[in-house]
Amino acid sequence: MVKHFNRMKKLLFILAISAFFFACKKEIEVPKVTPSPTTTINPNTAPNKWIHEVMAYYYLWSDKMPSLANTTTDAKPTDYFYTLLNDYPNTDRFSWIDESVTNLQNQLNGISTVLGIKNNAFYTDDTKTSIAFVLAYVLKGSPAEKAGLKRGDIILKVDDQTITNANYSTILSNQTLKLGLGNFVGGAFVSNGKSVTVTKVELQTNPILADTIIAWSGKKVGYLAYSQFLTSFDDSLRAIFGRFKTAGVNELVLDFRYNGGGYVVSSDLITNLTVKDAAAKVGKLMNKKVYNATYTAYLEKNSTSSSFETLFKSEANNLGTLSRVFVLTAGNTASASELVINNLLPFMDVILIGENTYGKNVGSFTITDPNKRWDYGLQPITFLTTNAIGKSDYGTKSGFTPTYILADNVLPYKTLGNPGETYFSKALSIIGAVAYQPSSTERTQKYTRTLASKESFSDNKWLDRKEMWIDPK
C-alpha cells in the first residue's frame, strides 16, 4: 500500500513538472511576425531611363521632352518612347521604335515578309460600303508576281470576306491569303469568280518598278518608277541613267508616287545624276543637316563639316543638259523623295504632277544599346534638312503642292511607263503639247472612281513607313 502510494506521488510529481514546462513553453512562444515587403524594381525602369538618356542627347526636339522625373518609367518601353515625342502624332508623326534591332534594320533595308503588292483602295459604288483593291504595283520576284498578279489587277475579297471601311487596313495581315479577283467592266467592279492563294515570304524589295525611254515630239524622254531609296540598288540606278545618257535622253520623269523614302545617300545619288550642269557643281553645297544643340556641339568638336554639309559629287552618268525634271507625286511621296525635290529646286525647274506630298523634311538614324542589354531599336527624328539656299518649307502635312494636280483614280490602270498611263501621259503632254493617242488595240474608255484612301498601302505596313535616314558611323 505504501509502495503504491509512493508510485502515485511520483507520477503526480512528473505530471506537475510536465504541466509546468508546457505552461512555460506556451508563455514564451514568439508571436508570428509578417515580414515587411521587399522593394522590387520594375524591369522597365532601366531600359526606359536609357531611352530617355539617348533621346535627350540625339532627339531633334530634345528641348521639348519631359524631364525624366515627369515620366512614367515603369511603362512598357515601346509605349514609353512615344510619351517623349514632341506633340505626337502631330509635329512628330515620324519617330518610331521596334522591339527588335534586326527587324528595324531589315525594314530600313527593304526586307520584309510580304506578298509583294501595293494597293489603292476604291469604293465599289456610291454607298461607300464595299472596297476594291486595285494593284498599284507588284514587286519583282514576289509571291504575288509568281502567282500572276500585276498592276491594275483587282481584289474584291480576301479569305472570302468582303473588303470594307472597317477591315481594309488589316484584312491582308494573315500569312497565307486567298484573294478573290475581279474585273472592271463598264465602270463597275465585278467578280470574275477567280481566286489565288498566296503565302508571304521574306523578300528583299527591288525598288526599280519600271524604266523606259520614249521618243516624244522630237525629244527623248527617260522614265523611272522608283519605290524606295536603297543603297543596294545604287549601282542599278547608275546603270539606268547610263542607258538614258547613251540614248540621248533630254527630258526626265521620276515617278515617286509610291516612294516613302529611304537612305539619304541614295536620294543624293539621284540628285547628282539629275542636276543640271553637274560638273560645275562638284564640291558645292547640295544640302545641310541641322541637329539639336547637344549633338551639334559634339559633332563640331569631334567630326568634320561632312556631318553637316552634303556636297555635289561627280557622277559619270549624269544627264548633264536637263533644264527641268518632272516628278510624279502622291500622298506616299515622302522624306528622301521630297529631299530630291528640295535638292534640285535651286538649280532647275522641278515640275510636280499629282497630289500633295507627305511633308517630311526631317530624318533619323538608328539608336541601339551598345552594351546589348536590350534589343530595342530606336528611330527618332535626329536632324532637319535644308537645301543649298537654306530652304526647308515643306515639312507640314501639305508637303509640296503639285504644279499640276492629278489623282491616281482613273481606271483601268495602265502599266507604269506606258505613255497612256494617266500621270506619265500628263508629263508627256507638257513636253510635247499633245495627248498620247492609244492604238485601236489598247484603246479603252476611262472612268474616274472614288478612292477610299489618299495613300496607297502594302500588305505589310512596315513597307509604308515614310523614312529618310543616315548611318552616322
DSSP codes joined into one string, 393-424: TT-STT-PPPSEE--S-EESPPPTT-TTSHHH
Q: CA 134 to CA 315: how far, in whole Å?
A: 38
259: helix, coil or strand? Answer: coil
Indicate the class that CATH gives domain 208-469.
alpha beta
Torsion over CA: 277, 279, 280, 286 (sign): positive
In which element (H, E) is residue 223 found?
A: strand 219-226
140: helix, coil or strand? Answer: coil
Q: CA 446 to CA 49: how far, in whole Å?
A: 58
What does pLDDT average to in each consecutive run of 10 residues of the chain (473 residues)? 46 43 38 55 95 98 98 97 97 96 93 96 95 98 98 98 95 97 96 98 97 95 98 98 97 98 97 96 98 97 95 96 96 97 98 97 97 97 98 95 96 96 96 74 81 93 89 78
Using a 10 angstrom Cβ sphere, with 0-12 exposed, 13-18 middle and 19 or more buried, the burial of residue 355 is: buried
pLDDT of amino acid 141: 97
Q: Cell 502567282 sits at which residue?
A: 147
DSSP codes joined into one string, 268-322: HHHHHHHSTTHHHHTTSEEEEEE--HHHHHHHHHHS-GGGTEEE----TT-----
Instruction: Say yes or no: do domains 114-203 and 208-469 share a fold.
Output: no
Beta-carbon contacts of residue 316 (< 8 Å; ≥ 6 apart): 238, 242
Q: Are strands 285-290 and 362-364 parallel, antiparallel or unpaired?
A: unpaired
Phi/psi for 381 (5° steps) reads -65, 125
pLDDT of amino acid 53: 98
Give the domain 114-203 fold.
Pdz3 Domain (2.30.42)
pLDDT of amino acid 362: 98
With beta carbons less than 8 A apart as the criterion, state whether 94 and 361 touch: no
Cα Rg, the chain, nearest whole Å: 33
Domain boundaries of the chain, sorted by first residue:
45-93, 114-203, 208-469
Between CA 354 and CA 255, with CA 458 as vertex, the angle to 5 degrees is 30
pTM summary value: 0.89
pLDDT of amino acid 399: 97
Helix and strand numbers, DSSP H then E, in the chain: 11, 25
Q: Is cis: bond before 143, omega within 30 of 0? A: no
Q: Cell 531609296 sits at which residue?
A: 229
State the cell numbers at 13: 510529481
With beta carbons less than 8 A apart as the criterion, state whether 133 and 189 touch: no
State the cell numbers at 131: 472596297
CB atoms within 10 A of CB 155: 23
With beta carbons less than 8 A apart as the criterion, state whether 296 and 321 touch: no
Q: Which amino acid is at 31?
A: P
State the cell numbers at 446: 476611262
pLDDT of amino acid 441: 60
CB atoms within 10 A of CB 200: 21
Q: CA 128 to CA 216: how far, in whole Å?
A: 40
